[in-house]
Structure 1
Amino acid sequence: MITREKADILALFEDAKSKSAFVNVAAPMVRYSKLEFRSLLRRHNVQLCFTPMITADTFSNSPSARFSEFSTNSTDSPVIAQFAAKKTVDLLKATEIIAPYVDGVDINCGCPQSWAIAKGYGCGLLKNPELMSDMVQTLRRNFSSKMSISVKIRLLNHEDFKTTVELARRMESSGVSFITLHGRTPYSKPADPVIHNGIKVVKDSLRIPLIGNGNVKSFEDAREMFQKTNCDGVMAASGLLTNPSLFDDEGMTSLECIQDWVNIASSAKDNLQFNTFHHHLTFMLEKQMKSKTRVLFNNFTKKEEVFGFLEENFGVKAEDKDCLEEYFDFSSDDRYMNSRAVEREKIQLWDEKKEGKFFKEFMEKEEEEEEGLGFLYE
């Protein structure tokens, strides 16, 4: 079994607090918070990364799901695995498998999607604080205090924050290391404003660190979150997709960031599927291409086409250097593999015919825009 010394997550918060600053955090984004993207973010001032949200029962029961959902290497730290779970036993089994390779485990109690709530995941857990407490206490009993245990929640009411305070305090007494709070309710629309005051009220009621989350699209938004809530960390999600150099205080994705992503993709070889590589660049180049150029770019199907496009239009060329540490080989870990017969190359890491919901919505928005006149980069 591969093991590595765990990073001290709480020390990150303590260090930031000593500097009157906040921890820069990358959210768990389904399909997008993979190892390669986490590696890019760490090059651009992100201090704490989460894996994509992983369904605990599938992860614990399926070796192929483990390879699809999680990969890591020796420099992938600090990293927290986020699980969606509705049964304590499923969460415990999944955590037992992934614990040697991560610095903490987070329980998703904040996903507002209807399918998640209907199945008892995400925001569905907010209606069952007893189960949330049982999950936290079970993990705390079974794992070293060096591993962080956390929950990601939402405000329970957009005006009266008493119930959210009560829930947060209950999680604190159950043993969580920190809490992430999205400043909207489970029933808010994506365009609704973030309720900074609600985050502040909850933060002021706790002794443990709190990460503020919601509508952080720029470094200015991150500063506003910190100043209005006094949170210990600021978490960005879609803002980091469109600009991975957000915490560098860049107005849009920097050329250096694009160069880093190309180098990582080249170094990752077949470990990084084309759709993942291409999707990230679609987000990153959103503000740097006009419509006709985007149509051309979106029709590429090979990495070589993308490399040629980037070199011609941006002067970005894949560098022949190994900039990504070797991936961990789980084959010697029977508990992780579940069977030595599992063959890595037979596992489908990405369905090339299936696009993620966020990417589909992003592309629909792009198609609605008026066609531009050629290529623009400033």
Structure 2
Amino acid sequence: MTALNLELQPEQRPHIDILNVFKAEKNTSHGFTRVSAPMVRYSKMEFRRLLRQHGVKLAFTPMIIADSFINSQKARYNEFTTSLEDIPCISQFAACDAHEFSLAAQLIYPYVDGVDLNCGCPQSWAISKGYGCGLLRHPELVKDIVETTRRVLPNNFSISVKLRLLNGSGDQSLRSTVELARQLEKCGATFLTLHGRNMWQKVSDPLNINAMAEVKKSIQIPLIVNGNVRTWQDAKNLHAQTQADGVMAARGLLSNPTLFNEYCGEAETSMECVQQWLDIATRAGDHIHFQCFHHHLTFMWSSHMKRKLRLEFNNFTSKQQIFDFFEERYGLKPHTESYSSPLEYTKCIYPQIKYDGVQVNKSSDVLAWNENSDGKFFNEFKDKVSAPNGQNEFELEGSFFTQLD
């Protein structure tokens, strides 16, 4: 097993003990940790910054393909950025091999507070490669990945797994899921996240609340629950029903980043939140791509616009068009100080290593996906909200990577 030198790297910050986060949040009035999900393309550092201004206490990176992260310098720079203020942060990887996951975990170790194994993505492309839900068919492999990674990382560094319910009839599914959760706890998992559906169920299928509650009762480590959280009340209800240590949201946070802000009381994204996003994007400069900046505003603000305005907004091609749009129609523009106080990004340095006898950290490898493309989710979402149905209300249901929520 490859073991890297885990001495402090330049710009490395102290690690946050994730268990202390759960303990602190348990003593709050609401009693649970508010968690933002690993959202492909969207839970980048800039958006994590916005969410933390509105109650999120634990944030995940987008899912990163471990193989790409190990072998491609371009993939690392494209898929992961951070700052000294980006805390606490968990990096999620898709992997189907213990060596692969542990090596990616060691590479990113200086810059995050934990790593998470994706065993929840039900997409066919992921399952065909042995990622996501495909791993749930091989519980021994999942345990091996956790055990192997725990051996090469400090005990206070978080290693977690995001699961769905295992397949089977009601009782069989629950027993299998409970058994896997218990085994992962024994293998050294710090916490688990459980989505309340199995790999074949869709967003329209009901959550199995009872199963999530039973898994919580069966383990001693913290459990985060995930599914159907669209409002602050949804989050409180799911916690009350399951007694979980944390509640995770994905789609709900995209449409309303203030979802977890218990003092905001807004059912939809507020102008104040849009103002904060404009400021963050200005401070980020070229670090944030147009597509990411634009897509977040589309999710956040489309419900406030009639169809004609949505069509206009969806066809923008530059950041300046977006800034002009919000200034002319809503009187919003980045604060002056945003231009003079750029975000400080950590310069991540990765050790030169050999993987399967081949030198990695190469700069010529292709990326896992193209940051400059719109992506399936945004295209479907844009088509849905621009439909000439005369309605101004819509949901993100059915148009997202279902691994996320």
TM category, shorter: over 0.9
Q: Is the 8 A contact 1:213 1:235 kept in 2?
A: yes
TM-score normalised over the length of structure 1: 0.92
Asked if residue 329 in structure 1 is aligned to residue 347 in structure 2, the reply is: yes
- Matched residue of 2:207: which SS? coil
Secondary structure of the residue aligned to 1:52 is coil
Q: Indicate conservation of the 8 Å contact 1:262/1:317, yes or no.
A: yes
Q: Which has the higher contact order (CA 8 A, sep 6+)?
A: 2
Structure 2 residue ranges without an equivalent (≥5): 1-8, 354-358, 393-405
Task: Give the aligned partner of residue 313 of structure 1.
Answer: 329
Shift of 1:333: 4.6
Map of 2:3 onto structure 1: none
What is the aligned-residue identity percentage?
49
Is this contact kept in 2: 1:72–1:327, CA < 8 A? Answer: yes
**Where does 1:42-81 land on structure 2 (aligned, <5 Å)?**
42-81=52-91
Deviation at 1:221, TM superposition (A): 0.9
Report if aligned partners of 1:292, 1:372 keep a CA contact under 8 Å in 2: no
- Amino acid across the alignment from 1:252: E
Work out the CA distance in 1 between the residues paired with 2:368 and 2:192: 34
1:159 has 2:165 as partner: no
Contact 1:67-1:349 within 8 A present in 2 as well: no
User: What do residues 134-179 of structure 1 show as CA deviations (whole Å, max 9, x unaligned)?
Assistant: 1101111111112100000011146221111011101111110000
The aligned counterpart of 1:299 is 315
CA distance in 1, matches of 2:194, 2:363: 39
* Distance in 1 between residues matched to 2:65 and 2:35, nearest whole Å: 21
Q: What corresponds to 1:217 in structure 2?
A: 230
Moved more, 364-373 or 294-303: 364-373
Unaligned runs of 5+ in 1: 374-378
1:253 equivalent among 261, 269, 274: 269
TM-score by length of 2: 0.86
Assess if the C-alpha contact under 8 Å between 1:33 and 1:50 holds in 2: yes
Partner of 1:361: 380
- Which whole-Å CA distance do the structure 2 matches of 1:212 and 1:340 have between them? 36
- In the alignment, residue 119 of structure 1 is paired with which amino acid? K
Q: Do 2:71 and 2:360's aligned partners in 1 also have CA atoms closer than 8 Å?
A: no
Q: Which residue of 1 aligns with 2:15?
A: 6
Residues 97-124 of structure 1: CA deviation (Å, up to 9, x unaligned): 1000000000000101111111110000
Whole-Å Cα distance in 2 between the matches of residues 114 and 107 of structure 1?
Answer: 18
- Which deviates further from its counterpart, 356-365 or 38-47? 356-365
User: Counterpart of 1:277?
Assistant: 293
Deviation per residue, 1:166-208 (Å, 9 max, x gap):
1110111111000000001100012111111110010011111
Verify the 8 A CA contact 2:35 2:59 in the aligned structure 1: yes
Tell me: CA distance 1:320–1:61, structure 2 relative to 1, closer, same or farther (3 Å). same
Question: Does the CA-based 8 Å contact 1:108-1:152 persist in structure 2?
Answer: yes
Task: Give 2:300's aligned amino acid.
Answer: M
Amino acid at match of 2:25: A
Larger helix percent = 1
- What is the CA–CA distance in structure 2 between the aligned matches of 1:57 and 1:104, rounded to whole Å? 18
Deviation at 1:269, TM superposition (A): 0.7
Where 1:32 maps in the other structure, the secondary structure is coil
Matched positions, count: 368
The partner residue of 2:155 within 145, 158, 164 is: 145
Q: Which moved more, 1:8-17 or 1:267-276?
A: 8-17
CA distance in 2, matches of 1:33, 1:340: 24
Q: Which amino acid aligns with 2:124?
A: S
Give the equivalent residue in structure 1 for 2:192: 179
Give the CA deviation at 1:315.
Answer: 2.1
Are 2:18 and 2:88, in contact at CA under 8 Å, matched by a contact in 1? yes
Does the 8 A contact of 1:242 with 1:283 survive in 2? yes
| Corresponding residue of 1:192 | 205
Residue in structure 2 matched with residue 376 of structure 1 by the alignment: none
Task: In structure 1, give the amino acid aligned to 2:38.
Answer: P
Report the Cα distance in structure 1 between the residues aligned to 2:24 and 2:342, rounded to whole angstroms: 27
Cα root mean square deviation, aligned: 2.1
In 1, Cα distance between the equivalents of 2:216 and 2:103? Answer: 31
2:308 maps to a residue whose letter is K
CA distance in 1: counterparts of 2:361 and 2:18, whole angstroms: 33
Any conservation in 1 of the 2:146–2:188 contact (CA below 8 Å)?
yes
SS at 2:61 equivalent: strand
Deviates most, 304-313 or 269-278: 304-313
What is the one-letter code of the residue matched to 2:379? K
Q: C-alpha distance in 2, partners of 1:166/1:230? A: 19
Distance 1:294 1:100, change over 3 A: same
8 Å CA contact retained: 1:74, 1:325: no
